[in-house]
Amino acid sequence: MSEELIPETPEQETEENEAAEPIKQRKNGLYPGVSDELAENMKSGWADTELHDLAPIPQAEHTAARRAALSARFPGERLVIPAGNLKTRSNDTEYAFRASTEYAYLTGDQTQDGVLVLESTGEQGHQATIYLLPRSNRENGEFWLDGQGELWVGRRHSLTEAEQLLGIPAKDVRELAAALAEATGPVRCVRGHDASIEAALTDKVTAERDEELRVYLSEARLVKDAFEISELEKACDATARGFEDVVKSLDKAEATSERFIEGTFFLRARIEGNDIGYGSICAAGPHATTLHWVRNDGAVRPGELLLLDAGVETNDLYTADVTRTLPINGTFSPLQRKIYDAVYEAQEAGIAAVKPGAAFRDFHDASQRVLAEKLVEWGLLGDLTVEKVLELGLQRRWTLHGTGHMLGMDVHDCAVARTEAYVDGILEPGVCLTVEPGLYFQADDLTVPEEYRGIGVRIEDDILVTEDGNRNLSDKLPRRADEVEAWMARLKG
């Protein structure tokens, strides 16, 4: 990895070039060691690469509709939605940038430091402006000397190009903080993404008003539009191919560790999308009983189960969230199949409860009832009735988590929506959620027979509510035990 040009110390400069001007007197204002001649040379001889007549991005009409709805919800107020900035990973390296969900949802843009501002125009609603970094400057050397310059990290769109692509007037973001500091009138800002923007608005915003904006934008994503549904379909299809890749390479994982599985799926995510939508859970053997096992450093052994929970995030930042529990050697043992079939039956009941007009909680209740029935049937809860088990929640020792969540640009989408709009809400067409019951028998759980211990099973699919029921977006992956075994045998050859 290359390093930026390091300024020389004054002593080095004197030793190596006694005729050089002092730093403060340099005409070009650049780093020491950059001669005036080199600085002048770097300014010219570059082709004009400005792009013209660019077609709008596919979601432009949808982002315009989302901004219009936002404008109608907060008339007469200035609304500020930042993309966020780079975050340091270590020393002078940064994490890969991922634009804030709110910003990407409203603009389709994914560039760092961007800010969407909706200025009130009175009865006319709002005028949207997107503030971006323009192309790096060639006159002052920024494009080749700055660590975020064009020759270091790649070309940015010009403001004119951005306007064509996004359908939003664009301005230089470096002028925004000062403009916001001087602005008057009511303002709301999505917090937590850009400290400099928040600092400029310190005396103009309140936490309560800003939270109302954040909550609105979370609830706006509860029902997906046509573009979002197509992205989720794309994410699920790519994820299915990633699961196939894993099955084909299980012999290599057995020779190494869970990390081979993680890396195999990640390759598919990067080939077909932007990234993984969340840290992949590649849990083999007893690790499958840890809900969010992301260390992925354990052994992969024949005869045990692999719980793979992973999702591809598309280039437009919509993620799948799918789990399959697979017999590593391709065949379930009788006990593994019994537990797997119980979870499958619970998932079937949950999926059947997903339909327009149903309460959000219905699919969870349906799945939990089936699992409670199985646990009572297996004698793991003494002589208690199923109704008593559900009343006391005793099945949760082995079911642990909720049966699903909203899905979209975030794997746990709409996370700050109000309880009455989400958990206590009613399903309607366009809602997309996961149905993911599981049973987890911890390796040290002395309340279950020894042969159960260390077995974890979860089956998860991404379900879209339709006008007349639901559609399983991840149905390209088999779910029934016999179908899973046949699918694995076919892929392994």
CA 262 from centre of chain:
17
In a domain? residue 1: no
The angle, 0 to 180 degrees and rounded to 10, between the axes of the packed helices 481-492 and 226-248 is 60
Mean pLDDT computed over every residue of the chain: 93
How confident is the model at residue 365, as a pLDDT?
Answer: 98
Residue count of the chain, please give it.
Answer: 493
CA distance 345 to 490: 25
Contact 32, 23 (CB under 8 A): yes
Asked if residue 252 and residue 119 are part of one domain, the reply reads: no
Contact 116, 128 (CB under 8 A): yes
| pTM for the model | 0.93
pLDDT over threshold 60, residue 174: yes
- Write down which residue in 219, 241, 270 finishes a domain: 219
- SS3 for 180-228 is HHHCCCCEEECCCCCHHHHHHCCCCCCHHHHHHHHHHHHHCCCCCCHHH
Looking at residues 168-190, what average pLDDT do you find? 95
Asked if residue 379 and residue 336 are part of one domain, the reply reads: yes
The CATH number for 184's domain is 3.40.350.10
pLDDT over threshold 80, residue 101: yes
Least Cα distance to 42 among 137, 111, 123, 119 occurs for 137
Asked if residue 324 and residue 278 are part of one domain, the reply reads: yes
pLDDT over threshold 70, residue 15: no
Asked if residue 403 and residue 469 are part of one domain, the reply reads: yes
In a domain? residue 472: yes
Asked if residue 242 and residue 178 are part of one domain, the reply reads: no
Asked if residue 476 and residue 367 are part of one domain, the reply reads: yes
Number of domains in the chain: 2
How confident is the model at residue 164, as a pLDDT?
Answer: 98
Asked if residue 368 and residue 417 are part of one domain, the reply reads: yes
Least Cα distance to 291 among 301, 283, 303, 299 occurs for 283
How confident is the model at residue 3, as a pLDDT?
Answer: 58
Q: Which residues is 281 bridged to in the sheet? A: 309
How confident is the model at residue 8, as a pLDDT?
Answer: 43
In a domain? residue 4: no
94 residue type, one letter: E
Asked if residue 204 and residue 108 are part of one domain, the reply reads: yes
Q: Give per-residue pLDDT as tens, 190-243.
A: 999 999 999 999 999 999 999 999 999 999 999 999 999 999 999 999 999 999
Tokens read off for 171: 């301005």
Name, in order, each residue with C-beta under 8 angstroms of 242's C-beta and a sequence gap of 6 or more.
264, 265, 268, 269, 310, 312
Q: Give per-residue pLDDT as tens, 128-159.
A: 999 999 999 898 889 999 888 999 999 999 99
In a domain? residue 142: no
CA distance 323 to 329: 18
In a domain? residue 441: yes
- Write down which residue in 198, 219, 240 finishes a domain: 219
Contact 156, 135 (CB under 8 A): yes
CA–CA distances in Å: residue 153 to residues 145, 149, 156, 259, 327:
11, 6, 9, 29, 43
Q: Write down the residue that tokens 């392994």 correspond to.
A: 492
Query: Looking at 27-31, 160-164, 205-209, which range is the least confident one?
Result: 27-31
Looking at residues 266-281, what average pLDDT do you find? 98
In a domain? residue 110: yes
Looking at residues 68-72, what average pLDDT do you find? 97
How confident is the model at residue 122, as a pLDDT?
Answer: 81
In a domain? residue 380: yes
Asked if residue 289 and residue 197 are part of one domain, the reply reads: no
Asked if residue 187 and residue 325 are part of one domain, the reply reads: no
Domain of residue 363: give its range. 226-492
How confident is the model at residue 227, as a pLDDT?
Answer: 98
pLDDT over threshold 70, residue 28: no
Name, in order, each residue with C-beta under 8 angstroms of 81's C-beta and a sequence gap of 6 or more.
100, 102, 103, 106, 115, 116, 117, 118, 189, 190, 217
- Write down which residue in 199, 219, 239 finishes a domain: 219
Looking at residues 451-466, what average pLDDT do you find? 98
Phi then psi for residue 388, to 5 deg, are -70, -40
Asked if residue 374 and residue 230 are part of one domain, the reply reads: yes
Looking at residues 413-437, what average pLDDT do you find? 98
Least Cα distance to 165 among 270, 276, 264, 51 occurs for 51
How confident is the model at residue 68, as a pLDDT?
Answer: 97
pLDDT over threshold 90, residue 11: no
State the CB neighbour count (10 A cutoff) for residue 240.
21
Asked if residue 316 and residue 171 are part of one domain, the reply reads: no
Q: Give per-residue pLDDT as tens, 163-172.
A: 999 999 999 9
How confident is the model at residue 266, as a pLDDT?
Answer: 98
pLDDT over threshold 60, residue 24: no
Looking at residues 432-454, what average pLDDT do you find? 98
pLDDT over threshold 60, residue 9: no
Q: Give per-residue pLDDT as tens, 330-363.
A: 999 999 999 999 999 999 999 999 999 999 999 9
The CATH number for 422's domain is 3.90.230.10
What is residue 69's DSSP assignment?
H
